[in-house]
Amino acid sequence: LASYRGSVKDFVNFNAKQDAELLHKAMKGIGTYEDTILMLLTSRSNNQRQEIKVEYKKAHGKDLVSALKSELGGLFETLVVALMMPPISYDASQLHKALKGVGTDDDVLIEILASRTCAQIKDIIKVYKKECGGKLEKDITGDTSGNFQKLLIMLLQRSNDEGVDDNRIEKDAKELIAAGKGKVGTDEDKFINILGNRSHEHLRLGVCVPFRSIIITELHSCLTPTRRCLAMILRTALRRAGTDDQTLMRIMVSRGETDMLDIRAYFKKMYGASLYTTIQEDTTGDYGKALLYLCGGND
């Protein structure tokens, strides 16, 4: 498709049975052929990886992910396990980890909930209940508070991706200006109500871009076009003291079939260096190589 902006595509002439055997051979015997594993898995789409899992189980009677985990280690293992999860399951697991770990990782919550479509949010809620054993909304209210909690709950409750309505945009824009101007403090409830209840596309294309400077910090992700925001998050993950590998992996895995080419373009435009080169400088080994394949090329 001409409009496809992901870096990971369906593999042409895909054969799930053959791929399952290639992976089996790579893990069998003395030593593991990590190169085979990383090149194969990063060049298959997520749907294709799910088919490989099915064929592997049929042929060898065991779970492919368990087999991979027993052969790999470290960050490369974590990345491979993430690649093998269906996208919605991966999002749900990341939200669960952000809520149930030591402290709450607010950045993960806002990154996922503000950048997924309404349909994806609906699916995440279902899968979270099924696979993480709890209700996402309940876990969020138990772990967050104040205006930040209100925003997250409203992002969670968006029921229809209503698209972009020009009249609505103008009205929302005026209300946002009125809420942030000429008063002591900001009418945060107004911001939360508008931003939490509008579709992602409505916010991205219409309302948000002109008003970035007047928003409270917690709404930053909603007010920045998603791809630009994700490029900024990647830059922070790669350039802090020590690489934030969890964030780096999460974005590279979750956006590979969505908009990685656009994120790369924003990264280059904003920072004057390609995402590919920056990853290359900050990561090593099979883990680094796999991330470069997911990046899909240098700019």
Could you report the per-residue pLDDT of 230-288, keeping only the tens digit for each? 898 899 899 766 789 999 999 999 999 999 999 999 999 999 999 999 999 999 999 99
- Please state the φ and ψ torsions of residue 105, each to the nearest 5 degrees: -90, 90
Question: Is the pLDDT reported for residue 39 higher than 80?
Answer: yes
Q: Which residue has the higher pLDDT, 235 or 160?
A: 235
Alpha-carbon span 72 to 80, nearest angstrom:
9
**C-alpha to C-alpha distances, 3 to 6, 42, 261, nearest whole angstrom:** 9, 21, 11
Under the banding of pLDDT at 50, 70 and 90, the label for residue 197 is: low
Tens of pLDDT, residue by residue over 134-150, are 999 999 999 988 777 87
Report, as an integer, the average pLDDT of 218-227. 52
Alpha-carbon span 253 to 195, nearest angstrom:
26
Q: What percent of the chain has pLDDT over 70?
A: 75
Residue 61, both tokens: 């009677």
Domains in the chain, CATH or no CATH each:
16-84 (1.10.220.10), 87-157 (1.10.220.10), 166-223 (1.10.220), 226-295 (1.10.220.10)
At 102 the pLDDT is 73
Q: Which residue has the higher pLDDT, 219 or 110?
A: 110
At 216 the pLDDT is 37
At 200 the pLDDT is 58
At 117 the pLDDT is 81
Report, as an integer, the average pLDDT of 191-198. 60
Q: Which residue has the higher pLDDT, 195 or 220?
A: 195
Residue 277: which residues within 8 A CB-CB, separation 6 or more? 298
At 182 the pLDDT is 47
Tens of pLDDT, residue by residue over 63-75, are 999 999 999 999 9
- pTM score of the predicted model: 0.81
Report, as an integer, the average pLDDT of 2-18. 92
Cβ atoms of 299 and 274 closer than 8 Å:
yes
**C-alpha to C-alpha distances, 109 to 57, 86, 125, 126, 225, nearest whole angstrom:** 34, 19, 13, 17, 17
Alpha-carbon span 184 to 93, nearest angstrom:
40
At 106 the pLDDT is 84
Q: Which residue has the higher pLDDT, 54 or 183?
A: 54
Report, as an integer, the average pLDDT of 84-111. 90
At 61 the pLDDT is 96
Question: Is the pLDDT reported for residue 212 higher than 80?
Answer: no
At 78 the pLDDT is 97
Question: Is the pLDDT reported for residue 214 higher than 80?
Answer: no
Question: Is the pLDDT reported for residue 105 higher than 70?
Answer: yes
At 242 the pLDDT is 74
Residue 186, both tokens: 């900001």
At 30 the pLDDT is 67
Residue 232: which residues within 8 A CB-CB, separation 6 or more? 224, 270
Q: Which residue has the higher pLDDT, 227 or 196?
A: 227
Return the sign of the alpha-carbon dihedral for residues 265, 271, 272, 273: negative
